[in-house]
Amino acid sequence: MKIRVLYVQETISSGGVERRRHSLAKLLPKEIFEIKIICTQVIGPLASDISKEGVEIIEIGLLGKIWNLSKYKAVLKVIKSYKPHIIHGAVFEGVLLATIAGRLGKVPIVIAEETSDPKTRSKKADKLLKGLSLLADAFVGVSPAAYDYLLSRARVSPNKLRLIVNGVFPPQQVNQELISNLRMSLNISQGDFVIGSVGRLFNKVKLFTDLVDAIALLRDRFENIKLVIVGDGPDKHYLETYISELGLESHIILVGFQYDPHPYFKIMDVFGIVSSTESFGLVVVEAMYHKLPVIASKIGGLKDIVEDGKTGILVDVNSPEQIAEALIELMSDPLKMKEMGETGFTNAYAKYSAERYVKDVESLYDELLIRKRII
């Protein structure tokens, strides 16, 4: 008998939750587990990669209001036909649908997963999450910050809490000719010092303007400094205008969304992620796989991944001056940069691999399956 798992989440695009589902689809033993995914909508090519692993993806449309009964009925319809042993919801919408429909549909095992850094979540939402946790057999936090939130603010029972830290596939080798051509196309010379960042262009959260402001502080002293931002989003035009108003067009390059950003990591000297909130930050691990020191804001999961002074430098949120100081520190000490990159690389493989993540999830499933006497 195969164990049938039904994942429920919001949009499948290129974010961390769907990338972890891709890891599970790829690495959970196919002779033991069968997987389906319910989502509100599909955007981008990652869904195709998930489907190639034999996983059916079922779109049910945007939830809208949290008590949209038609969406709960859609999940219940899938439960009735698929008869999952496990339903596993992630993202707030996915947790709602999985816990409520899972219990109504009498799924034996219900799992919820906190995937965000919910420091701005309302007390009303905290109480709702607490209520939903009563319907779950286990509640996963994907980082120490998410786990602490569930324990201290949402007041989820410690007996139900599990810390399963995210994992990332290591990158494939990048052709040196491709890297050289990429440098040429972006007008980046060997003598340029490049700080890079990858993420959705939603400035309220990602604070790319803080990186831009740091470049503005340094451009007169370091004419060869450049910032490369990989990503797209609603604030693209705003960022373009902001860069233009500061006269930084020759120092800052927006390359748009790249399904495979790994060649861009190869042209970076330092990686920067200075978000206002971040549950984990998968791109930090990817940067570490590329042996890049990381400048990160000391919030959420970032402060747990980046070891200050060992794999990178932590800065306060909304602190372009601290970012600039960190860049000066790194630029003035190439040996320190190299040591940070090597330590980060070692940590990435030891602590944040996709294989380790999937094994942790499989262990949780086995524990609950044994408890429920399903296996």
Q: What is the 3-state secondary structure (H, E, C) of 120-186?
A: CCCHHHHHHHHHHHCCCCEEEECCHHHHHHHHHCCCCCCCCEEECCCCECCCCCCCHHHHHHHHHHC
pLDDT score for 2? 96
363 and 347 housed in the same domain: no
pLDDT in tens, 284-334: 999 999 999 999 999 989 999 999 999 999 999 999 999 999 999 999 999
pLDDT score for 119? 73
Give every CB contact of residue 368 below 8 A, 6+ residues apart in sequence. Answer: 86, 109, 111, 137, 138
Neighbours of 178 (CB within 10 A): 12
pLDDT score for 314? 98
pLDDT score for 206? 96
Model-level pTM? 0.92
Tokens coding 277: 């909130």
129 and 197 housed in the same domain: no
CATH number, position 256: 3.40.50.2000
Which H or E run includes 25?
helix 16-27
pLDDT score for 341? 98
Tokens coding 252: 């800052």
94 and 203 housed in the same domain: no
357 and 344 housed in the same domain: no
pLDDT score for 66? 86
229 and 250 housed in the same domain: yes
pLDDT score for 80? 98
319 and 365 housed in the same domain: no
pLDDT score for 1? 86
pLDDT score for 359? 97
pLDDT score for 44? 83
pLDDT score for 174? 86
- Collapsing DSSP to helix, strand or coil, 32 comes out as coil
Domain count, the chain: 2
pLDDT score for 172? 84
| pLDDT-flagged residues of the chain (< 50) | none
Q: Compute the distance between CA of residue 253 and CA of residue 88 in angstroms, rounded to an integer.
A: 39
Q: Whole domain around residue 274: which residue ranges?
A: 176-351
pLDDT in tens, 68-99: 999 999 999 999 999 999 999 999 999 999 99
Q: Could you tell me which of 369, 290, 315 has the C-alpha nearest to residue 85? A: 369
DSSP state of 373: T
186 and 261 housed in the same domain: yes
41 and 62 housed in the same domain: yes
Torsion of CA 138, 100, 59, 280, to 10 degrees: -40
48 and 147 housed in the same domain: yes
Q: Are 312 and 306 in contact (CB under 8 A)?
A: yes
pLDDT score for 270? 98
pLDDT score for 118? 75
Q: Are 263 and 178 in contact (CB under 8 A)?
A: yes
- Give the length of the chain: 375
357 and 306 housed in the same domain: no
268 and 248 housed in the same domain: yes
Pairing between β-strand 138-141 and β-strand 161-163 as defined by DSSP bridges: parallel
pLDDT in tens, 42-65: 998 899 999 999 999 999 999 888
